[in-house]
Amino acid sequence: MSNLKQYIRSIPDFPKPGITFYDITTLIQHPKGLELALDGMETYVRRIGADRVVGIESRGFVFGAALADRLDLGLSIARKPGKLPSKTITEAYELEYGTDRLEMHEDSIQPGEKVVVVDDLIATGGTLLAVCRMVERLKGEVVGISSVIGLTFLPFAEKLKGYDLDYLVSYDSE
Ligand code: AMP
């Protein structure tokens, strides 16, 4: 899906020097860009046969919600701490400096459900791993991970080994 790349804007030195930020706002602003991305994700999720979509705050919500609607599935969400009003579980993950956490409602996954976890971009894979762990603690089965972008110069494949992983475009150098 290399034609998707034309819709993704690369911003050097954001949010800090040395990091290239892959900006999907330009992709979702464009009807064709959004459609192409969702077509690719939909094809993958139909193949793996999920019965629930989990979207990660906040760009994972954009793709996750549209995908769930296309597939006639429910959407569950993983949010930053303190945002979800009912009983939650939480999982920490490592950032470059320190750690962060995500939360899910305890009743957002039913035992035995086949779940696809959705985000916009996989860098180290730490965010996705934290969400996969929460899904499993809630007795769901992670049947796949779907992302628009994979930064293949980072070792996310190792971190997420054992999970079925799909991304539509990759960047293989910083
Ligand atoms: P990670 O946990 O390292 O895989 O980071 C993935 C999360 O951070 C995703 O939710 C991305 O939206 C965001 N992210 C990390 N690196 C970048 C980047 N270079 N450009 C855009 N978003 C990024």
20 CA: nearest ligand 1 atom: 19
Q: What is the DSSP string of 80-118?
A: -TT---S-EEEEEEE-SSSEEEEEEETTSS-TT-EEEEE
Q: What is the pLDDT of residue 97?
A: 78
CA dist list (Å): 87 to 76, 110, 130, 142: 14, 15, 18, 21
pLDDT tens profile 53-90 = 999 999 999 999 999 999 999 999 999 999 999 999 99
pLDDT at residue 113 tops 90 = yes
Render 139-174 in DSSP notation, one character per residue. Answer: T-EEEEEEEEEEETTS-HHHHTTTS-EEEEEEE---
Which tokens in the block code for residue 73? 């599935």
**CATH code where residue 73 lies:** 3.40.50.2020
Per-residue model confidence as pLDDT tens digits over 17-49: 999 999 999 999 999 999 999 999 999 999 999
Residue 1: predicted pLDDT: 66
Residue type, 18: G
Confidence at residue 40, expressed as pLDDT on a 0 to 100 scale: 98
Domain that holds residue 134: 2-171
Nearest ligand 1 atom to the CA of 59 is 12
| pTM (2 d.p.) | 0.97
CB count within 10 Å of CB 31 equals: 8
Going from the Cα of 150 to the center of ligand 1, the distance in angstroms, rounded, reads 9
Query: Is pLDDT at 174 greater than 90 in this prediction?
Result: no
Ligand 1 binding pocket (C-beta < 6 A) is: 19-22, 56, 59, 119-127, 156
CA triple 123-16-59, angle to 5 deg: 45
Q: Which of 13, 62, 124, 127 to mutate for ligand 1's pocket (most ligand atoms within 8 Å of CB)?
A: 127
Residue of the nearest CA to atom 11 in ligand 1? 121
- Residue 3, by phi and psi: left (phi above 0), alpha (psi -120 to 50) or beta? alpha
| Residues 117-135 pLDDT 10s | 999 999 999 999 999 999 9
CA 81 to chain centre: 17
Which atom of ligand 1 is closest in space to residue 120's alpha carbon? 12
Which of 14, 24, 62, 121 maximizes ligand 1 atoms within 8 Å of its Cβ, making it the mutation to test the pocket?
121
d(CA 69, CA 66): 5
pLDDT value of position 173: 82
Number of domains in the chain: 1
